[in-house]
């Protein structure tokens, strides 16, 4: 099965060019440097530092966003919505993103249950999309 990530359709740049490691280590969204790229699963990731790139390449699964980087709420209902990077939140060690702040707030009302729904639905969706 092919892994599916929310990425620019032409350059295959994931996370809108933000450094996936920085969310974990700096606790904020940090734009990656186009001169510090890495390719994993056929997608390009950009990093703010060589150290972040090395950490990512050592354990990419740790840093890949939940639900392929698509809107967690959207995935929970079987729809692939785009995301706003500013909606990011760490949940059980995974980066989760939302369509907008209003959706993020509603999703958080029963966050654990909503993530369970999204995780179950994502398995189905990724299997179908990855054919």
For 17-43, how does the pLDDT look when each residue is reduced to its tens digit (9 = 90+)?
999 999 999 999 999 999 999 999 999
At 74, the pLDDT band (50, 70, 90 cuts) reads very high
The CA angle 48-50-52, to the nearest 5 degrees, is 65
108 pLDDT higher than 70: yes
Q: Is 54 left (phi over 0), alpha (psi -120 to 50) or beta?
A: alpha
- Which pLDDT score is estimated for 118? 98
Domain spans of the chain, in order of start: 15-60, 66-129
Which run of H or E residues covers position 44? Answer: strand 43-47
State the pTM of this model. Answer: 0.93
Q: Which tokens go with 58?
A: 């050592």
CB 126 within 8 A of CB 1: yes
Pairing outcome for strands 33-40 and 84-91? unpaired
């Amino acid at each position: 099965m092919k892994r599916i990530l929310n990425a620019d359709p032409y350059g295959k740049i994931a996370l809108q060019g933000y450094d996936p490691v920085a969310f974990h280590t700096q606790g904020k969204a940090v734009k990656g440097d186009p001169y510090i790229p890495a390719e994993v699963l056929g997608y390009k990731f950009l990093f703010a530092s060589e150290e972040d790139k090395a950490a990512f390449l050592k354990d990419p699964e740790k840093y890949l966003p939940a639900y392929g980087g698509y809107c967690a709420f959207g995935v929970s209902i079987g729809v692939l919505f785009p995301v706003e990077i500013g909606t990011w939140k760490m949940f059980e060690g995974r980066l989760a993103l939302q369509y907008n702040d209003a959706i993020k707030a509603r999703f958080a009302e029963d966050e654990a249950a909503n993530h369970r729904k999204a995780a179950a639905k994502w398995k189905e969706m990724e299997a179908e999309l990855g054919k």
